[in-house]
Amino acid sequence: MEELNWQKIREFYPIVGHGVYLKNASISAVHRDVLKEMQFWQEDIANRAAIDEGRFFELLQHSKEVMSEFLNCLPEDVALLENSSHNMNLVAIMMKKDLKEGRNEVIVPADEFPSSLLPFYYHGFNIIQVPTNNGHFTEEDLFKHITPQTAAVVTSVVQFGTGLRLDPKKLSDLADLHKVPLILNTTQSLGVFPINLLKLNVAALTSSCHKWLGAGIGQAIFYLNPEFRKERPYPLAGWCSVEDPFAMINEMPVPRLDVGALQLGSLPFALIAGVVKAIEVIKKIGPEAIQRRVLSLSHELRKTVIDCGLKPVGATTPTEESGIVTFPVENADDLVEFLESRKIYVNNRRGFIRASVHIYNTPEDIHVFHQALQDYKKQ
């Protein structure tokens, strides 16, 4: 298979001028074309305001078409909202019905990102945290905790802290078997690990766009399965939730059924345009090539960490690996500071070092990281 010219692709990402950037699991860098698109829309709004305002609705519709093609669902099943915390709150509130019917338990991995579970706590569910073994667990481990009170299984496809990657197909099959709603957070996977919703039984999905999608900060994809949302009314409505917003009728609203009804009012169109362009960039480079590149770099990174006598957590097989490599050290803050003095950027997550690679990283970045780890040990 012919490899892409990654050196050339790398030039489209301004981040590469700032050192060895290994914080992609926090915020991934934005491609120049994405930045240009967002700038274009901001300027266009400043310059033309409400002249030709139909362009906003065209962009909105286009965004749903682009996202639905990317996720393999229907445009009416998907919308962009402000963040995953918000999206999970919507799901939790929509599940009031389940709570009333006695299904009050939500199963999550103990290492899960707070956005995925705090909303469920807050809206009255009991959270069943499934313990992990050094950051490792399987799809089956989550479903062992199913009881008649289970309302849903909520999990990330890639765990934010450890980088452990689950198989969405296995999760979906288990959800089918146990007849429980599966709610996915693909924030740490989408952009590198594609998802095919047509082939999966997923009740709801959220994906913050500032990570592997590289779409800037402030938007999250929200998908709701038609069956799931048919039985659970939307908890919010605004002037844009109705069939014809410009009729401006001041009566009890009849919200539309598509997920876009949750885009209640005026929207950050420049950010929406950025997400659309980010997906186009991914499609142009090629989702398979992106996945191969990220997995190959992160495998190298993992080997480097092991070579330095450190022990990555999470994945125990290559199929569980992602763009994230995490390992414990005695004083994570101290190591982060040491690395930053050399312009190498990693995260301290819960006392662990988290290093994460994207397509614009290089084997040379990993070599520089390796050298720095060795120098740190020698101090």
Ligand X SMILES: Cc1ncc(COP(=O)(O)O)c(C=O)c1O
Chain length of the chain: 379
Pick between residue 156 and residue 241 the one whose CB is nearest to ligand X.
156
Answer yes or no: are the C-beta atoms of 145 and 126 closer than 8 Å: no
Q: Does an H or E element contain 347, and which?
A: strand 347-349
Pick between residue 30 and residue 373 the one whose CB is nearest to ligand X.
30
Question: Closest distance between ligand X and the C-beta of residue 325, in Å?
Answer: 15
Whole-number Å distance between alpha carbons of 242 and 347: 43
Query: What does 311-344 look like in DSSP terms, one character per residue?
Result: ---S-SSGGG--SEEEEE-S-HHHHHHHHHTTTE
Pick between residue 183 and residue 242 the one whose CB is nearest to ligand X.
183
Task: Return contacts of 362-366, CB within 8 angstroms, 24+ apart.
Answer: 362/6, 362/7, 362/10, 362/297, 363/297, 363/300, 365/20, 365/21, 365/22, 366/297, 366/300, 366/301, 366/304
Cα dihedral 14, 16, 19, 25 sign? positive
Pick between residue 263 and residue 304 the one whose CB is nearest to ligand X.
263
Query: What does 235-280 look like in DSSP terms, one character per residue?
Result: S---GGGSS-GGG---SS----SSGGGGS-S---HHHHHHHHHHHH
Residue with tokens 């990220």: 294
Pick between residue 84 and residue 172 the one whose CB is nearest to ligand X.
84
Question: Closest distance between ligand X and the C-beta of residue 188, in Å?
Answer: 5
Question: Closest distance between ligand X and the C-beta of residue 136, in Å?
Answer: 17
Q: Is 121 left (phi over 0), alpha (psi -120 to 50) or beta?
A: alpha
Residue with tokens 């997400």: 275
Q: Strands 324-328 and 352-356, how do they pair?
A: antiparallel
Pick between residue 160 and residue 327 the one whose CB is nearest to ligand X.
160
Return the half-sphere exposure (C-beta side, CA atoms, 13 A cut-off) of residue 238: 10
> How many helices and strands, by DSSP H and E, does the chain display?
13, 12
**Structure tokens, 194:** 């594609």
Pick between residue 27 and residue 329 the one whose CB is nearest to ligand X.
27
Question: Closest distance between ligand X and the C-beta of residue 95, in Å?
Answer: 18
Answer yes or no: are the C-beta atoms of 100 and 86 closer than 8 Å: no
CA 206 to chain centre: 7
Pick between residue 210 and residue 277 the one whose CB is nearest to ligand X.
210
Question: Closest distance between ligand X and the C-beta of residue 55, in Å?
Answer: 27
Pick between residue 23 and residue 256 the one whose CB is nearest to ligand X.
23
Question: Closest distance between ligand X and the C-beta of residue 115, in Å?
Answer: 4
Whole-number Å distance between alpha carbons of 227 and 64: 19
CA-CA-CA-CA torsion for 268, 190, 168, 116, nearest 10 degrees? -50
Question: Closest distance between ligand X and the C-beta of residue 152, in Å?
Answer: 16
Answer yes or no: are the C-beta atoms of 34 and 216 closer than 8 Å: yes
Question: Closest distance between ligand X and the C-beta of residue 41, in Å?
Answer: 21
Pick between residue 205 and residue 373 the one whose CB is nearest to ligand X.
205
Question: Closest distance between ligand X and the C-beta of residue 83, in Å?
Answer: 3
Binding site for ligand X (CB under 6 A): 83-85, 113, 115, 156, 160, 185, 187-188, 208, 220
Question: Closest distance between ligand X and the C-beta of residue 85, in Å?
Answer: 3
**Structure tokens, 354:** 């988290």
